[in-house]
């Protein structure tokens, strides 16, 4: 299993779409910047069938230093969680030939796609 960089994805997309690499790079970076900004504001980002990004606050806790066995205070911190969407889960299973494990029940079941606009979904999510 290898690692794919942003540069490699940008090059691939630019070639497939026949668009200048610099434009794809700009759009990709702006997209990523917007994700970071929204998460920084505490917003949840839902990409239908792909997945959901959201921040969670981990409470402060006491831990133990494994070397000294002394108690250590771990401050609260904000983390980013990604929940895999239904379609991504299915496609990964098809590509890999292995079912995606959901025993932890941390995979978000995304609603089936209908013909409504994604803005309607965002408004519906905001109401809840």
Residues 6+ apart with CB under 8 A from 22: none
Q: What's residue 97's pLDDT?
A: 84
Q: What's residue 101's pLDDT?
A: 65
Rounded to whole angstroms, the Cα distance separating 90 from 88 reads: 5
Q: What's residue 42's pLDDT?
A: 92
Give me the sign of the Cα torsion angle 100, 105, 108, 111: positive
With a cut of 70, list the residues of the chain below it in pLDDT.
Answer: 101-128
Q: Which CATH class is domain 43-128?
A: few secondary structures
Q: What's residue 110's pLDDT?
A: 40
Domain ranges of the chain: 1-41, 43-128
């Amino acid at each position: 299993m290898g690692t794919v960089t942003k540069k490699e994805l940008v090059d691939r997309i630019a070639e497939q779409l026949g668009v200048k690499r610099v434009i794809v790079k700009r759009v990709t970076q702006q997209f990523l910047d917007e994700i970071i900004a929204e998460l920084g504001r505490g917003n949840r980002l839902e990409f239908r069938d792909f997945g959901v990004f959201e921040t969670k606050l981990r409470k402060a806790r006491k831990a133990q230093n494994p070397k000294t066995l002394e108690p250590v205070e771990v401050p609260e911190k904000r983390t980013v969680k990604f929940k895999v969407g239904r379609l991504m889960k299915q496609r990964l299973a098809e590509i890999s030939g292995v079912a995606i494990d959901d025993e932890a029940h941390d995979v978000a079941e995304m609603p089936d796609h209908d013909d409504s606009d994604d803005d309607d979904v965002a408004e519906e999510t905001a109401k809840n």
